[in-house]
């Protein structure tokens, strides 16, 4: 009985940390399904975390905080969309720039907000974890069972074909990237409003990169992202929980090592399930191959 | 005569498309950086600091205050070494984002030599540098093999390797390598004196590493311009198909490039632990994001190894400005990330402009036929608009 309780306790805590991972990964999956990699997750999340905290502190409503997080995440993603879709710059580098800028901006603006607990935090086991799972199902249904899903996936697989069908490739990509950024913002907001209701500079601490890894690990499938987020969240929680017996770092490395392993396995044995969107990372210009 | 799609008339200007010239590249880059500084000024203003005042303070405290100027080179050193390595990798179209991890691997290898081998005396530092080079090169090996053998995206794998290195270092300094004499703190014992790099008197510049960086930049410039390997790197980077036809071994070229690239970052790591800290400590203090900033250093150098001498100094200046802003303007050091992010955004955003060239090519008279038909008859600059 003790063991069962212990495992349940670990899973519940793993779910708490898995929640921002899931929200962020869903956003990344959504954007990548339209063919745009966004390595700016860390930047969008930290901006979301700060703006959520500031808005929640000022208004007293954690919900408004999350709304602010979604808005700032979307705005940050808009910058990435402009540079990588309209200006057709290298998506990977643009994302890195967004991460740097986000970390810098949040660090700058957040000065003076550090060290105060949030007066009215959201309980950790609030609506967000179940809502995340629901969102995963919704995005899965959207991708595979709606016309919009077909359009989005076509843009990610074969933008030229989408273009020939009369689809505005740039518009679809903009929408996907901005929506993905909004989810990343909420993921960051969850950290500062619910998970650790306070603001500290650099509080995302690399979670944004785990999100990028998670999107790949889950093979761009929103439903698999639920399990993957729970796994990565649990690993992170165990790294604290087992500190007395094992040092935390080997467990904290796991998500990163797993992702490399999965990429290698997928490439070696050509698992069809692990195929990336065909046009992922490639800018699209009509008439260019 | 019809105008091809590569020439367009816009008022009195003619816009041509083609290979960018050196001067035009320089001009676009300079404007991009200037624009980034203006945008950063806007952010300072929003933060509540007068941007003109801020830049004046920075210029004064970085360039005028005695003893401040050499500080620039403290961060120029690691940026130069990693930047040169990345130039090589980028030239071969290998997007090595893992310099941060490779730098840390080099620092770990050097620390291992300094603390856990009996090598003492004048041989200590050369062995540390050699070990650091090997450490960095090995850290870049797995992503290159995965890329070459299985075509796994190197951006993601090198990025993941950064975090593995980060946690590895923090495990070392909190666990097996924590110094018995430092009780409680998360770092190793201090290096023996023979493992300390000498400084230029009156400054904190560990000059052997700086010399190494300059030599490496010059060496890579020669390598790219004058050797077989350099030729292979350039051809493979510009046209992998052609490289295959002329019998260039992609596996060998990319592996060599990555070994050099990772090794150079490893050398930077040696410089940080042997020249600055004299111990291994928290990974975020060993490297202040040098591996990431070096990406911009290399990007701005546009594939020219020697240009990293300038671009690395520019970013050394930005790191120094970060210190100044922290002390004199009470802004957090993270402000350097704002500069880095903005500069990178403006650089890649202006990349499209490089292909275009604007020439002064006015029309003869308003009654002329449409410019699109008339313009190409006249060489540019032939006549003056009166």
In this predicted structure, the answer to whether residue B373 has a pLDDT above a threshold of 80 is no
In this predicted structure, the answer to whether residue A272 has a pLDDT above a threshold of 80 is no
Structural domain contains residue B183: yes
Structural domain contains residue B26: no
Average pLDDT value for chain B = 88
- Look at residues A92, A95, A94, A84 and name the one whose alpha carbon lies nearest to residue A42: A95
Q: Which of A92-96, A128-132, A176-180 has the highest mean pLDDT?
A: A176-180
- Spell out the domains of chain A, with CATH numbers in brackets: 16-274 (1.10.3470)
Structural domain contains residue B340: no
**Closest chain A residue to the Cα of B142, Cα to Cα:** A260
In this predicted structure, the answer to whether residue B68 has a pLDDT above a threshold of 90 is no
In this predicted structure, the answer to whether residue A287 has a pLDDT above a threshold of 80 is no
Q: Which two tokens stand for residue B151?
A: 């075509």
Distance from the A83 Cα atom to the nearest Cα atom in chain B, whole angstroms: 6
Phi, psi for A240 (deg, rounded to 5)? -85, -45
Last residue of a domain, one of B284, B312, B330: B330
pLDDT digits (tens, 9 = 90+) for A230-248: 998 998 888 878 877 888 8
Name the residue with higher pLDDT: B303 or A123: B303
Residues B303 and B215 in one domain: yes
Average pLDDT value for chain A = 90
Look at A240-244, B1-5, B180-184, B232-236 and tell me which has the smallest mean pLDDT: B1-5
pLDDT digits (tens, 9 = 90+) for A182-229: 999 999 999 999 988 899 988 998 899 989 989 988 889 999 999 999
Please tell me the distance from the alpha carbon of residue B134 to that of residue B140, in angstroms, as a whole number. 10
**Closest chain A residue to the Cα of B176, Cα to Cα:** A247
- The model's confidence at residue B363, banded by pLDDT at 50, 70 and 90, is low
Structural domain contains residue B230: yes
Residues B172 and B257 in one domain: yes
Please tell me the distance from the alpha carbon of residue B186 to that of residue B177, in angstroms, as a whole number. 9
Structural domain contains residue B108: yes
Query: Is A39 within 8 Å of chain B by CB?
Result: yes
- Output the pLDDT for position B356: 75
- Output the pLDDT for position A206: 85
Q: Is A74 left (phi over 0), alpha (psi -120 to 50) or beta?
A: alpha
- Output the pLDDT for position A273: 61
- The model's confidence at residue B386, banded by pLDDT at 50, 70 and 90, is very low
Contact residues on chain B for A259, CB-CB shorter than 8 A: 156, 160
Are B334 and A107 a contacting pair at CB < 8 A? yes
Q: How many CB pairs under 8 A join A and B?
A: 139
In this predicted structure, the answer to whether residue B127 has a pLDDT above a threshold of 80 is yes
What is the pTM (predicted TM-score) of this model? 0.89
In this predicted structure, the answer to whether residue B364 has a pLDDT above a threshold of 70 is no
Are A108 and B334 a contacting pair at CB < 8 A? yes
- Output the pLDDT for position A105: 95
Residues B313 and B380 in one domain: no
Domain assignment of residue B370, given as a range: 1-17+362-386
In this predicted structure, the answer to whether residue B380 has a pLDDT above a threshold of 70 is no
Residues B144 and B11 in one domain: no
Are B340 and A100 a contacting pair at CB < 8 A? yes
Last residue of a domain, one of B330, B347, B374: B330
pLDDT digits (tens, 9 = 90+) for B308-340: 999 999 999 999 999 999 999 889 989 999 999
- The model's confidence at residue A127, banded by pLDDT at 50, 70 and 90, is confident
Q: How many domains does chain B have?
A: 2
- Look at residues B223, B266, B268, B269 and name the one whose alpha carbon lies nearest to residue B92: B223
- The model's confidence at residue A255, banded by pLDDT at 50, 70 and 90, is confident
């Amino acid at each position: 009985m003790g063991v069962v309780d212990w495992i349940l306790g670990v899973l519940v805590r793993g779910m708490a940390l898995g929640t921002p991972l899931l929200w962020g990964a869903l956003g990344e999956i959504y954007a990548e399904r339209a063919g745009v990699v966004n390595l700016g997750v860390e930047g969008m999340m930290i901006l979301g975390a700060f703006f959520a905290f500031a808005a929640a502190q000022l208004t007293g409503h954690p919900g408004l905080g999350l709304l602010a997080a979604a808005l700032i995440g979307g705005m940050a993603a808009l910058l990435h969309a402009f540079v990588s879709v309209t200006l057709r710059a290298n998506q990977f580098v643009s994302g890195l720039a967004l991460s740097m800028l986000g970390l810098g901006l949040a660090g700058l603006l957040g000065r003076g907000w550090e060290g105060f607990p949030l007066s009215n935090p959201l309980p950790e086991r609030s609506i967000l974890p179940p809502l995340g799972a629901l969102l995963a199902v919704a995005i899965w249904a959207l991708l595979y069972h709606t016309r919009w899903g077909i359009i989005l996936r076509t843009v990610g697989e074969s933008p030229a074909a989408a273009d020939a069908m009369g689809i505005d490739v740039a518009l679809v990509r903009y929408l996907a990237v901005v929506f993905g950024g909004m989810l990343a913002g909420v993921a960051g907001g969850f950290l500062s409003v619910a998970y650790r209701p306070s603001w500290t500079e650099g509080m995302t601490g690399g979670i944004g990169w785990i999100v990028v890894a998670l999107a790949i690990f889950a093979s761009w499938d929103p439903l698999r992202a639920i399990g993957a987020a729970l796994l990565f969240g649990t690993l992170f929680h165990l790294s604290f929980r087992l500190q007395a017996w094992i040092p935390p770092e080997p467990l904290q490395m796991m998500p990163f090592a797993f992702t490399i392993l999965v990429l290698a396995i997928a490439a070696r044995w050509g698992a069809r399930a692990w195929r990336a969107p065909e046009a992922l990372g490639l800018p699209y210009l009509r008439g260019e191959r | 005569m019809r105008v091809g799609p590569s020439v367009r008339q816009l008022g009195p200007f003619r816009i041509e498309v083609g290979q960018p010239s050196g001067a035009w590249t320089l001009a676009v880059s300079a404007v991009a950086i200037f624009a980034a500084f203006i945008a950063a000024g806007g952010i300072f203003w929003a933060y509540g600091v007068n941007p003109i005042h801020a830049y004046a303070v920075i210029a004064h405290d970085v360039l005028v205050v005695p003893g401040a100027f050499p500080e620039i080179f403290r961060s120029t050193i690691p940026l130069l070494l990693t930047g040169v390595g990345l130039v090589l990798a980028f030239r071969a179209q290998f997007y090595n984002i893992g310099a941060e991890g490779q730098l840390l691997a080099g620092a770990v290898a050097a620390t291992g030599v300094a603390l856990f081998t009996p090598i003492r005396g004048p041989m200590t530092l050369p062995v540390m540098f050699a070990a650091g080079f090997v450490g960095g090169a090995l850290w870049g090996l797995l992503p290159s093999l995965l890329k070459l053998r299985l075509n796994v995206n190197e951006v993601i794998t090198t990025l993941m390797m950064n975090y593995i290195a980060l946690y590895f270092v923090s495990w070392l300094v909190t666990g097996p390598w924590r110094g018995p004499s430092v009780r409680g703190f998360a770092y190793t014992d201090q290096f023996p004196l023979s493992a300390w790099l000498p400084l230029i008197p009156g400054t904190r510049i560990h000059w052997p590493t700086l010399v190494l960086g300059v030599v490496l930049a010059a060496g890579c410039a020669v390598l790219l311009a004058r050797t077989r390997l350099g030729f292979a790197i350039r051809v493979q980077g510009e046209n992998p198909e052609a490289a295959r036809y002329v019998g260039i071994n992609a596996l060998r070229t990319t592996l060599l490039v990555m070994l050099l690239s990772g090794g150079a970052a490893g050398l930077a790591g040696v410089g940080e632990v042997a020249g600055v800290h004299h111990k291994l400590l928290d990974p975020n203090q060993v490297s202040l994001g040098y591996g990431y900033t070096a990406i911009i250093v290399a990007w701005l150098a546009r594939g020219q190894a020697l240009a990293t001498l300038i671009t690395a100094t520019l970013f050394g200046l930005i790191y120094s400005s970060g210190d100044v802003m922290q002390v004199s303007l009470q802004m957090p050091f993270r402000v350097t990330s704002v500069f880095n992010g903005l500069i990178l955004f403006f650089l890649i955003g202006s990349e499209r402009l490089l292909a275009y060239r604007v020439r002064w090519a006015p029309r003869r008279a308003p009654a002329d036929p449409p410019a699109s038909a008339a313009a190409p008859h006249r060489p540019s600059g032939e006549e003056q608009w009166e």
